[in-house]
């Protein structure tokens, strides 16, 4: 099947390079320099394109708007879209995914990654996925059948990474190739259990006693030796000289058994998901050797395990998630104006996880709606508890993800939620991170207006860290601008920085909003902000985020903070 692609890119050099590369790979191409041109090309084309490869940021019409238009039309809604862009604004990229984008690649683009993406979104008729689910399921079945006996094997994942010519092999030569690989495996791993995926040339070897002996984090040299041995054996075992050109580049990934043991008791789909991810690593290894242990895989482990752990904790409403309150101070008199409810997660499996990581994971995996509802319920319950104190907390604020605002029913449901707690709307402020996808979308704008009409305050959090245009900002029904903490570092010695913050405070006044500065840590910063006329502030100068009980003590103190 010959693939027909449409490339949409405003960078002339990049456009030419992409076109040249794809045509060299046998893919026919059309080009456009923005979304509007792309729509014209598609309209004039008698045969629909098999894939659209587009940048996001382009004049006249960007990639996200193009994706929305293509998804809205019956003729084009099934065309897979691949985005190649600089990874700067995650909110926009994830919004693109929701707009029908099938894959995201980072600039500068990699030839192998691009071709893999194209073949992933356009599977050949009747073909199986590169890493079929049944392969990962076979690994799961083996691992957890032996684990029931009380011991887990270590696992070595290999992939015979051949040149691109393999996909053009005649049937007879492919059979010979597969036979040679099996011969090599039998010689290298005579006493080991292994599973071989012939569709992808991937191999999973358990315990690795016959080929490499005991493996651990110090055995990278042993893996390199094994890698070299496999390549030499392949050439020696080749039944005829024609196979010599296909000598493999073997990627080796060793997985320590402690990682596998950490998944005991997990749901099957979560473990299979982990195995598929590791197999993907072997697929893209390009001859590299990876050693994965509990210590060396912290970030991937968190990213892969978080979704199921978050979902479990939210569903069970366990006390893993909690709220820490950070007081907001009136800069004129030092009184407590209110407090921001900040999310915290102390996971039994992962320990304390930073909000940036688990909030991001919840957004990526579509769990932010459930998590956000749970966290706001905890915050409202604690706020009500503090109303029984002799000196009550005047008002509360909590964060809302930009992705929640893209749900057309979000504001209505939140209004009903606040009403159910019988909390006066004027004592609640909703904070949203500065994001074009939320502040400029129609659903986002409708939600903001409904929240404002209810009487709740609306704050733009981390103002100055995003890229919302002043024109768009002026159209939002905002009541607060929360100036990002990054503007405070060096403000006393930097006149330009001082001028920027002064302009932000003035901007807040111009749009009838109050100004709040985050991250105040020093007396000098406080005095400068008072002189600029800033209304409120929060930061370690007064208090780090604290539990409700500690905030209650501060509320009852006649003079809780330094002036």
Residues with active-site annotation: 518
Residue with tokens 């008002």: 395
CA distance 360 to 372: 12
All residues at 6 or more sequence positions from 24 whose CB lies less than 8 Å from its CB, including other chains: none
Secondary structure element (H or E) that encloses residue 223, with its range? helix 220-237
CA distance 92 to 57: 10
Question: Residue 108: is the preceding peptide bond cis (ω within 30°)?
Answer: yes
Q: Which of 48, 35, 46 has the alpha carbon at shortest distance from 76? A: 48
User: Read out DSSP for 516-537?
Assistant: EEE---SHHHHHHHHHHT--EE
Contact 255, 155 (CB under 8 A): yes
Contact 429, 452 (CB under 8 A): no
Partners of 160 in the beta sheet?
250
Contact 511, 474 (CB under 8 A): yes
Contact 251, 142 (CB under 8 A): no
First to last CA, the chain: 74
Contact 142, 193 (CB under 8 A): yes
Return the structure tokens found at 390: 């002799």
Partners of 162 in the beta sheet?
none
Backbone angles phi, psi at 366, to 5 degrees: 70, 25
Return the structure tokens found at 542: 């007064």
Return the structure tokens found at 29: 């191409």
Q: Count CB neighbours of 344 within 10 A.
A: 18
State the Cα torsion 78-84-86-87 to the nearest 10°: 50
Contacts 24+ apart (CB under 8 A), 175-179: 176/239, 176/240, 176/243, 177/243, 177/246, 179/239
CA distance 330 to 293: 49
User: Read out DSSP for 310-349?
Assistant: HHHHHHHT-TTEEEEEEEEEETTT--EEEEEEEEEEEETT
Residue with tokens 């809302």: 400
């Amino acid at each position: 099947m010959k693939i027909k692609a449409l490339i949409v890119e405003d960078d002339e050099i990049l456009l030419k390079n992409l076109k040249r590369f794809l045509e060299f790979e046998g893919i026919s191409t059309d080009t456009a320099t923005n979304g509007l041109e792309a729509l014209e090309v598609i309209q004039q084309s008698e045969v629909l394109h098999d894939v659209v490869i587009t940048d996001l940021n382009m004049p006249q019409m960007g990639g996200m708007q193009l994706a929305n238009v293509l998804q809205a039309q019956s003729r084009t809604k099934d065309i897979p879209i691949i985005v190649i862009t600089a990874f700067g604004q995650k909110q926009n990229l994830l919004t693109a995914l929701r707009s029908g984008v099938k894959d995201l690649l980072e600039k500068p683009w990699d030839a192998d990654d691009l071709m893999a993406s194209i073949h992933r979104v356009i599977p050949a008729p009747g073909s199986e996925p590169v890493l079929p689910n049944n392969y990962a399921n076979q690994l799961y079945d083996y691992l957890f059948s032996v684990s029931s006996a009380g011991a887990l094997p270590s696992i070595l994942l290999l992939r015979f990474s051949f040149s691109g010519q393999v996909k053009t092999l005649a049937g007879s030569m492919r059979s010979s190739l597969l036979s040679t690989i099996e011969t090599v495996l039998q010689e290298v791993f005579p006493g080991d259990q292994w599973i071989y995926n012939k569709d992808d040339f991937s191999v999973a070897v358990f315990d690795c006693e016959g080929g490499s002996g005991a493996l651990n984090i110090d055995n990278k040299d042993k893996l390199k030796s094994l890698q070299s041995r496999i390549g030499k054996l392949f050439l020696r075992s080749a039944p005829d000289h024609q196979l010599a050109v296909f000598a493999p580049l073997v990627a080796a990934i060793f997985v320590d058994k402690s990682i596998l043991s950490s998944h005991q008791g997990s749901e099957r789909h979560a473990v299979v998901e982990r195995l598929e991810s590791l197999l993907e690593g072997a697929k893209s290894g390009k001859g590299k050797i990876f050693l994965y242990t509990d210590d060396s895989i912290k970030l991937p482990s968190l990213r892969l395990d978080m979704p199921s752990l978050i979902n479990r904790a939210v569903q069970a409403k366990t006390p893993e998630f909690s709220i820490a309150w950070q007081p907001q101070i009136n800069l004129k008199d030092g009184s407590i104006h209110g407090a921001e409810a900040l999310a915290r997660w102390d996971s039994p499996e992962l320990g304390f996880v930073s909000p940036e990581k688990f909030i991001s994971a919840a957004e990526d995996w579509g769990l932010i709606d459930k998590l956000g509802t749970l966290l706001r319920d905890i915050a409202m319950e604690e706020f009500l508890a503090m109303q029984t104190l002799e000196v009550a907390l005047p008002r509360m604020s909590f964060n809302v993800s930009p992705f929640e605002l893209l749900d057309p029913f979000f504001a209505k449901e939140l209004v009903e939620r606040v009403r159910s707690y019988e909390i006066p709307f004027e004592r609640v402020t909703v904070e949203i991170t500065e994001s074009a996808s939320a502040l400029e979308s129609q659903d986002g704008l409708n939600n903001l207006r409904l929240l404002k009409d209810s009487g709740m305050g609306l704050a733009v959090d981390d103002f100055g860290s995003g890229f919302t245009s002043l024109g768009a900002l002026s159209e939002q029904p905002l009541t607060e601008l929360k100036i990002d903490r990054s503007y405070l570092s060096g403000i006393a010695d930097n006149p330009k920085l001082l001028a920027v913050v002064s302009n932000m405070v003035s901007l807040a006044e111009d749009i009838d909003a109050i100004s709040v500065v985050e991250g105040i840590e020093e007396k000098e910063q406080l005095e400068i902000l008072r002189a600029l006329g800033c209304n409120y502030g929060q930061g370690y100068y007064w208090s780090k985020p604290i539990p409700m009980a500690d905030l209650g003590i501060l509320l009852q103190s006649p003079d809780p903070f330094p002036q």
